[in-house]
Amino acid sequence: MSIFSDPIKTVDRLFDELSDSINEGVNRLFDKEIKIGVTGFSRGGKTAFITSLVNTILNFGNEGTSDRLPRFQEYETSGIYYGGIASNHDLSVPAFPYHEYYDGLVKPEPLWPVATDNISEIRLEIRFRENRLLMPGEHRSLYLDIWDYPGEWLIDLVLLDLSYEDFSSMMLSQVRKLSSIIPQSKELLALGDRLDPCKSPDPRLLKESVEQYVQWLLDCKRAGMSLIVPSRQVLPGNLLGAPIIEFMPWLWVIPSSYSKDSLYGVMKKRYDSYKKDIVENFYETMFSKLDRQVILIDCFAALNGGREAFVNVNDTFETLLKNFSYGENNLLQRIFSPKIDKVIFAATKADQVTYDEEKHLLSLLRSMVTSASHEIRGQSTNCQYMVLSSIAATKCLEVNYQGRNTQVLSTGREGDNYFYPGSVPSQWSEQSMADFQKHFIMRQLPPPLMNPGDPIPNINMDVMLSYLLKDKL
Ligand SMILES: Nc1nc2c(ncn2[C@@H]2O[C@H](COP(=O)(O)OP(=O)(O)OP(=O)(O)O)[C@@H](O)[C@H]2O)c(=O)[nH]1
Ligand SMILES: [Mg+2]
């Protein structure tokens, strides 16, 4: 946040913030800290990813770590000997509850981390020996700053560039487009007969109307749509009952003139305040000054959701990614306004397919993000694509089935038979999606069985670490 945003700051505080900014700049200059933006829709696997990444880093320096991370060669070559949790940058932000999530995973009946309902931050420290020519053998620390947040809130970033009128027209076309699959759409449109945009609002009717819109949003969410805005209406956090979230898009003819106290004026004002005070603030805290971005995509959910959900995921992603600043950094940019110079697209929950299906999953991911990644590559940002399971709930085994070696999955639980879930299409099409929905066995997998102290089993976390860190070590 700018040091000039609060006029009543004392000189001391201003000075502290200024020296913090300088420190941050110096740290960036010497590559001592990187901010990683974990980006993904709700239930996409962000919290599981952060938990697993923290766990992997906390195991740095422990026996056997190098063997578990064969494709993170920099672990050996840069002499990493320690990984730990450092104290947070911003002491007013809740700490990411890593230990709570890890303790849940190592219970006799293990638990997935719960759905996130607020923001949290974690700062990790990696210690290693400098290998560069100038300072060989020097001990150095690299800090990683990572934030977690409810996936729902991410979608609000699409509002950043939209006026109230733009937002209204975007949602009107959504309501129309979804009227065949969301029955409430017609009733929502009919609501306009009872609303006069130029009259002062009847508080009860305004509340009821907004409630009807929120119901429609919830129906869309259940149907697997991604464009659920304003998100705080479905997951308010500390804004529950606050007037700033009591508005809806104007889905009817926009009045040519209106007073600021009219129904239309009030809706518009609330929208503008929401965008400025909630969305911009969220963006500033979570996503400004990102160095690296990890984009987590649950391809299985996208395939399962049907055509509209799939297109919705793509469109929303494309609009979202326009809000980030990508590209190579020169020295000054690196210090003062860094751009994201590396993006990793990861297809999550890859433990739901057998090993030989991973290449299909990868190809599907690439086909899903073709246009979004095209834009990013156009700005000279390095893009990587991978499949990932942050917390692998299955193991892939080879068994002899009708005389042939066949890959299957096993949860390793007593009495639980191994199974073959089916194949993933390598390209998205109506037909491949229909086949997937018909034949693929989607199981609600329980987390893996672990003992306290065990490292979290995963697929490809070593590849992820290498992509994220290799040029910083
Ligand atoms: N099989 C499997 N399931 C996973 C994996 N990662 C996440 N999941 C499942 O996906 C669910 C959601 O994961 P989260 O990490 O909580 O997702 P999130 O993006 O943080 O979701 P929000 O907090 O709602 O934004 C979990 O409860 C698991 O059921 C994985 O690697 N393998
Ligand atoms: Mg979460």
- Transcribe 409-457 into DSSP letters: EE---TT---B------SS--HHHHHHHHHH-----PPPPP--TTPPPP
210 lines ligand 1 (CB under 6 A): no
Q: What percent of the chain has pLDDT over 90?
A: 70
Q: Whose CA is nearest to atom 4 of ligand 1?
A: 349
150 lines ligand 1 (CB under 6 A): yes
Note the pLDDT of residue 314. 77
40 lines ligand 1 (CB under 6 A): yes
User: Left (φ > 0), alpha (ψ -120 to 50) or beta: where does 362 sit?
Assistant: alpha
Tokens 């694509």 appear where? 385
What separation in angstroms does the CA of 299 have from each of 43, 96, 201, 345, 353?
12, 26, 43, 11, 12
Note the pLDDT of residue 309. 77
- Is residue 289 pLDDT above 90, yes or no? no
Query: Cα(65) to centroid of ligand 1, in Å?
Result: 24
357 lines ligand 1 (CB under 6 A): no
- Comparing 1 with 267, which gets the higher pLDDT? 267
Diameter of the chain by CA atoms? 79
Q: Whose CA is nearest to atom 29 of ligand 1?
A: 112
185 lines ligand 1 (CB under 6 A): no
Q: Where are the domains of the chain?
A: 33-154+288-395+448-472, 158-284
Q: What is the pLDDT of residues 268-279, one digit of tens each?
A: 999 999 999 999
154 lines ligand 1 (CB under 6 A): no
Check if the beta carbon of residue 355 is closer than 8 Å to that of residue 395: no
Query: Cα(45) to centroid of ligand 2, in Å?
Result: 7
Beta pairing, strands 395-401 & 404-410: antiparallel
43 lines ligand 1 (CB under 6 A): yes
Query: Cα(146) to centroid of ligand 2, in Å?
Result: 13
Note the pLDDT of residue 168. 98
Query: Cα(115) to centroid of ligand 1, in Å?
Result: 8
Please state the atom number of ligand 1 nearest to the C-alpha of residue 114.
16
Q: What is the pLDDT of residues 136-172, one digit of tens each?
A: 667 899 999 999 999 999 999 999 999 999 999 999 9
Of 42, 47, 55, which is best to mutate to test ligand 1, by the most ligand atoms within 8 angstroms of its C-beta? 47
Please state the atom number of ligand 1 nearest to the C-alpha of residue 151.
25
Least confident of 114-123, 232-241, 324-333, 410-419: 324-333
- Comparing 399 with 31, which gets the higher pLDDT? 399
- Comparing 316 with 232, which gets the higher pLDDT? 232
289 lines ligand 1 (CB under 6 A): no
47 lines ligand 1 (CB under 6 A): yes
Query: Cα(40) to centroid of ligand 1, in Å?
Result: 11
390 lines ligand 1 (CB under 6 A): yes
- Comparing 353 with 320, which gets the higher pLDDT? 353
Q: What is the pLDDT of residues 295-325, one digit of tens each?
A: 999 999 888 888 877 777 777 888 888 888 8
| Mean pLDDT of the 66-86 span | 95
Q: What percent of the chain has pLDDT over 70?
A: 90
| Mean pLDDT of the 55-66 span | 97
Mean pLDDT, rounded, of the chain: 90
- Is residue 399 pLDDT above 50, yes or no? yes
Q: What is the pLDDT of residues 361-378, one digit of tens each?
A: 999 999 888 888 888 888
Note the pLDDT of residue 15. 59
Note the pLDDT of residue 184. 94
Of 391, 419, 441, 444, which is best to mutate to test ligand 1, by the most ligand atoms within 8 angstroms of its C-beta? 391
Q: What is the pLDDT of residues 121-139, one digit of tens each?
A: 999 999 998 765 556 667 8
228 lines ligand 1 (CB under 6 A): no
Q: What is the pLDDT of residues 180-226, one digit of tens each?
A: 999 999 999 999 999 999 999 999 999 999 999 999 999 999 888 88
Of 96, 111, 349, which is best to mutate to test ligand 1, by the most ligand atoms within 8 angstroms of its C-beta? 349
Of 38, 43, 352, which is best to mutate to test ligand 1, by the most ligand atoms within 8 angstroms of its C-beta? 43
E strand map for 44-178: 82-86, 120-129, 139-148
Considering every ligand atom shown, identify the ligand nearest to the alpha carbon of residue 96 and give its number.
2
My answer on whether omega of the bond before 94 falls inside 30° of 0, hence cis, is no
Residue 236 exposure: Cα atoms within 13 Å on the Cβ side: 11
pLDDT band at 1 (very low <50, low <70, confident <90, very high): very low
Note the pLDDT of residue 333. 60
Relative orientation angle of helices 430-439 and 307-321, to the nearest 10 degrees: 120
42 lines ligand 1 (CB under 6 A): yes
Query: Cα(389) to centroid of ligand 2, in Å?
Result: 15
Least confident of 40-49, 325-334, 401-410: 325-334
**DSSP symbols for 68-103:** H-TT-THHHHTT--EEEEEPPS-TTSPBP-HHHHHH
458 lines ligand 1 (CB under 6 A): no
457 lines ligand 1 (CB under 6 A): no
d(CA 58, CA 259) in angstroms, rounded, equals: 58
Query: Cα(292) to centroid of ligand 1, in Å?
Result: 21
Please state the atom number of ligand 1 nearest to the C-alpha of residue 49.
15
Note the pLDDT of residue 4. 36
Record: fold of 33-154+288-395+448-472? Rossmann fold (3.40.50)
